[in-house]
Structure 1
Amino acid sequence: MARLDGASAELRGGDRIRKIENCSPNIKIPMDPRHLVQLAAILEKGSITQASRHLHLTQPTLTHNMQTLEMQAGGRLFERSRYGVRSTPLGEMLAREGRAIARRLKDAAEVTARHRGGIRHQVRLGIGPVIGAAVMGELAPVLLRQFPDLALALQNDRPHLLLEQLIDGGHDFVIAPSWLEHPPPGIVRQLLADDELGVFCARRHPLAGKAELGAEDVDDRAWISLGTASPFDQDVRGKLEAVGVQRLRVEITVLGDAAMLLDMLAQGQHLAVLPRFPLRRLAARFGLVELPMSGPPTPRPIYLWCRAGLLEDAVMGEVSELIVETVRAWAR
């Protein structure tokens, strides 16, 4: 009987604990990081069914974990519909943390694998498409010769997206132009090239080789744009308006892929506004020339970006110095 009374007391105690956990607003239960990763997977895949397969979990388990997370977060994380799930603002904020945790876990696995192979350091470098095409082929060997136990993880993307990824912890460094007067809080930048925009075309283009061009020469010509949704688009249009171009006929828009843009530009049917420093290094390879357009210069400085605390690491500080020294020498 004593044993039964004890068991009953233990069950009643467990019931009280569960009631406290479920009902008391003053007791906070830490969120399980795995649940945040699972939430990110659900929103990425668009359904609990697809996420459960990706995560190798049963649907009831995943549903229960999301109910627990919603209880702890104090609100709905996503809405279900016939087309899948759609995140709420709260769900998107927590999913962002889940994606960061997933990246850290992936990074940890990669660190372990690299360490077994004799690699002691990794630099995650994001780089804009045009500047990446212009410098990375030579810059990577420079870094690897100086740091034999270094591994490079390179990502090419549009500059404003790279900066967002840097803020989220997705990169150690970013090489990209700036559209901001000042860097975001916690981010520092160093000038690599005090660059400007120019108008470029292929050597075979009808306008190539002319000594002087006016607005009437380029008005209503076919253009290629490197992403009309970027913060730099206004600079491009401003440059053309400054020289009197009224009709800008953009036939092709390329998002984040410099090689594709330059290859199409080399065919000789289009014009493009591009930064001068990278194009000086790429012009011979793709058979391109800059057109002699009048008008005031349009600055497009290129920077090395990183989080402020990163430079406290001795190796990262040396990597930063070498990148700055090397690219500045090329830009002179």
Structure 2
Amino acid sequence: MKIDPNHLQMLAAIIDAGGLTEGAALLNKSQPSVSRSVSMLEQRLGSRLFEKGKRPLRPTELCRILAAQGRVITDAGQAAEAAVTLYSRGKAGTARIAGTPIFMDGVVSTMMASFQTAFPEVTIQQTYGYFPELSEQLNVGTIDLAICPARPDDIPPHLTFKPILRGRNVIACAPTHPLARKPAVKLEDIAAFPWIAPPAGSPLYTDLKRALEDIGITDFRVSFTGGSLASILSVLAGSNSLTVLPYSVVFTQRRANTVTALPVRLEHPNRELGFLRRAKRPKRPVVARFQSYLETEFKVLARRINDHGRADTWRR
């Protein structure tokens, strides 16, 4: 027998409120209409729902059983309303994010952690890639948002790019490196040490070669290449190698005391870190909230970098 879920909720309201009049008020209905509904349901079930002649109203065993199911329906409806509210406000759902490994691990990961602390119902699916791969993934819809360095002139028509941080590179080493203790670093000092090269094909690998050429180093020895930011930092910590990293990564990692920047002026790359996404594709609420959160975090980071950078590390 199929029973109207509203009738089950009605029985729960009558019992929980303590009577027909009180239950009707709880349901925003008139007492006569609720009384008629109870009578019709009793006729359909062929059984009484409230004991005859008892005051206050006393539910039968069947009524209590049905009312319990009515409470389940009410709870499920309230949970569904809460879920819709969270989703529509971008506080629940899944955001598929991808980006270049160095930036994702060195800068964005800490921002993701604070975002998920604030919004624990959000799931972030994060992958890695460089501009060509990220563009294709956005095009086919396997990711919602990419975070990568790019030049605005290189963005294809079907994508949009929103810059969030100017490109700035530095020569990086471990805080225990011999050059890290020098107030001034000369070209011949740098030339004596091996280098860690970022993954081949990455923008940072091109930056390394160009940066060394710009400061007059054309013959350099690469002791380690490829790998993640964690492996690069580990090799730096255990050797006297040097590398080129985005200053934002070095700045973010400074509290861990794993890497530092040498006071050597480099020409900054003609790129900006930014959000890459598919043009005209609607953003789901959680993606919009996550992007807005990152924009705010990067504004704070840029301000802190500018304040700190008035030293001489990357000032032009």
Normalising by structure 2, we get a TM-score of 0.61
CA offsets per residue over residues 65-110 of structure 1, 9 Å max, x none? xxxxxxxxxxxxxxxxxxxxxxxxxxxxxxxxxxxxxxxxxxxxxx
Asked if residue 287 in structure 1 is aligned to residue 258 in structure 2, the reply is yes
Asked if residue 176 in structure 1 is aligned to residue 148 in structure 2, the reply is yes
The higher radius of gyration belongs to: 2
* Alignment partner, residue 316 of structure 1: 287
Q: What is the total number of aligned residue pairs between the two structures? A: 215
* Alignment partner, residue 38 of structure 2: none
Query: Within 2, Cα distance between the matches of 1:316 and 1:265?
Result: 36
**Of 256, 259, 262, which aligns to 2:230?**
259
Query: Within 2, Cα distance between the matches of 1:147 and 1:309?
Result: 27
CA, structure 1 residues 299+275, in 2 after alignment: closer, same or farther (shift >3 Å)?
A: farther
Asked if residue 271 in structure 1 is aligned to residue 248 in structure 2, the reply is no
* Alignment partner, residue 200 of structure 2: 228
CA offsets per residue over residues 40-60 of structure 1, 9 Å max, x none? xxxxxxxxxxxxxxxxxxxxx
Query: Within 1, Cα distance between the matches of 2:108 and 2:268?
Result: 26
Question: Contact 2:100/2:128 (CA < 8 Å) preserved in 1?
Answer: yes
Asked if residue 297 in structure 1 is aligned to residue 263 in structure 2, the reply is no
Deviation at 1:307, TM superposition (A): 1.1
Question: Contact 1:202/1:208 (CA < 8 Å) preserved in 2?
Answer: yes
Q: One-letter code of the match for 2:199? A: G
CA offsets per residue over residues 212-238 of structure 1, 9 Å max, x none? 222222125210011122244333211
* Alignment partner, residue 19 of structure 1: none
Does the residue aligned with 1:259 lie in a helix, a strand or coil? helix
* Alignment partner, residue 123 of structure 2: 151
Asked if residue 134 in structure 1 is aligned to residue 134 in structure 2, the reply is no
CA, structure 1 residues 322+271, in 2 after alignment: closer, same or farther (shift >3 Å)?
A: same
Q: Name the Cα RMSD after superposition.
A: 2.6
Question: Contact 2:98/2:143 (CA < 8 Å) preserved in 1?
Answer: yes
Q: Structure with the greater relative contact order (CA < 8 A, sep ≥ 6): 1 or 2?
A: 2
* Alignment partner, residue 248 of structure 1: 220
* Alignment partner, residue 330 of structure 1: 301
CA, structure 1 residues 311+232, in 2 after alignment: closer, same or farther (shift >3 Å)?
A: farther
Question: Contact 1:178/1:301 (CA < 8 Å) preserved in 2?
Answer: yes
Q: One-letter code of the match for 2:247? A: R
Query: Within 1, Cα distance between the matches of 2:135 and 2:245?
Result: 20
Does the residue aligned with 1:181 lie in a helix, a strand or coil? helix
Question: Contact 2:122/2:286 (CA < 8 Å) preserved in 1?
Answer: no
* Alignment partner, residue 307 of structure 1: 278
Normalising by structure 1, we get a TM-score of 0.58
